[in-house]
Amino acid sequence: MKFDNRINDCDRHQQEINEHRPLKGQALKQLREYLRIGLTWSSNALEGNSLTETETKVVIEDGITIGGKPLKDHFEAIGHAEAFDYLQKLAGRNEITERDILKLHKLFYYRIDEANAGHYRKQNIIVTGTDFVFPAPSELKELMTTFVDEIPRLRAEKHPIEFAALLHTRLVTIHPFVDGNGRAARLLMNLALLQEGYPVTIIPPVVRSEYLSAVRESNTGNVAPFVNLLSCMVWESQRDHLRLLQSLERK
């Protein structure tokens, strides 16, 4: 499947969304809870988590385990939901720091591997499905510092969707963590979008193959396929967001 660039369509949808703001009270709470479950399920499912969206909701909201499902899958759901809550706290700011990225990873990962949660990896890695050589552990601190230092410039120079795409692709190309890099990158991507006024954007498991292909292209410096894919995912998420807003505002 080929994805066209839909940034202009996204701009039109964003104008519609802005007309519904500000959203407050119970309506805002319901919308955030819906997106919290949707993003947690989809981001984990992209990495092979076996929980369905309904099971993810039960684990997060009711604290009930699902029989026959791995404990790790439950930890991933709970941890990602906590990272989503932190995302909301950061959304009102206009900056992204190295500490923010580390904390997002820590919140998601500490139940799974406390020693490595929120810390850069101390070992070399091989990622299945790509022959790209990721940076050595000794390079990570400098690469991440340079990356974070560039964020204000990227924010100023790029369209919000391109900005979010670049944060995602640069983080996964550095691959600073022993595990959870994809989820950390999608959280960071959504933080960038939220701070620019865009709704939470979900990349559904049905486009996993295309998503991974675009990520592999971005590892080698070709970010256009990922920008195009993300613009389509933003557009779809905006459409869903408008549907929810219209449902919440019915008289």
The answer to whether residues 84 and 39 touch, using CB atoms and an 8 Å cutoff, is yes
- Among residues 74, 168, 175, 241, the one annotated as catalytic is 175
218 CB-side CA count, 13 A: 27
What is the Cα–Cα distance from 8 to 6, expressed in whole angstroms? Answer: 5
Sequence-separated (6 or more) residues with CB below 8 Å from residue 250: none
Sequence-separated (6 or more) residues with CB below 8 Å from residue 125: 134, 175, 178
The answer to whether residues 234 and 198 touch, using CB atoms and an 8 Å cutoff, is yes
175 is catalytic: yes
Sequence-separated (6 or more) residues with CB below 8 Å from residue 45: 51, 205
Among all residues, which ones are annotated catalytic? 175
